[in-house]
Amino acid sequence: MANKIGKAKEATLQFFKTANPQDEFFLVSFNDRAELISAFTNSADDLQSRLLSASGKGRTALLDAIYLGLSEMHTARNNKRALLIISDGGDNNSRYNEKDIKRLVRRRILNCIRSAYLTRSGIGAVLQKNSMVPLCSMK
């Protein structure tokens, strides 16, 4: 488990390195439940420090984290939005299901939501375009 979390953190730090100064981010942590750790900020450094203190334990409320992330995205200032999810495992503890997620996406009318999952092949899989799984594509 610790190795998966370490790889997930490393992948996220690599993602922050590709950011533009005007990009904004928020951070949702999830294990048994999803929790908003930081609202939108332009400070990738602040989120990096919060991310480094995160630890993996318990079950995985992945769909709850996606739902919370999508709900938070309506406060974004930028028109182009993406939701990057890095997890050490699949969902096994969410209140929400895939239908709830799709319903929320349709309601929010987001341009495009994509999520990436850390796979056994490591960090490269997260950052490669072919590892991205579209949840929706709406205009």
Give the residue among 27, 25, 102 at the shortest CA–CA distance from 63. Answer: 102
pLDDT of residue 36: 94
Residue 113 pLDDT: 39
Which residues sit opposite 95 in a β-bridge?
none
What pLDDT is attached to residue 7?
80
The model carries a pTM of 0.74
Q: Which of 45, 5, 7, 4 is nearest to 127 (CA)?
A: 7
**What pLDDT does residue 48 have?**
86
**pLDDT of the residue at 109:** 54
pLDDT of residue 95: 96
Is residue 136 exposed (0-12), middle (13-18) or buried (19+ Cβ within 10 Å)?
Answer: middle
Complete domains list, the chain, with CATH: 2-137 (3.40.50.410)
Q: Would you give per-residue pLDDT tens digits along the chain (139 residues)? A: 567 778 878 888 888 888 888 899 999 989 999 999 999 999 988 888 888 777 778 899 999 999 999 999 888 888 788 888 887 778 899 999 989 988 888 776 544 434 444 444 443 333 344 444 444 433 3
pLDDT of residue 33: 93
pLDDT of amino acid 34? 94
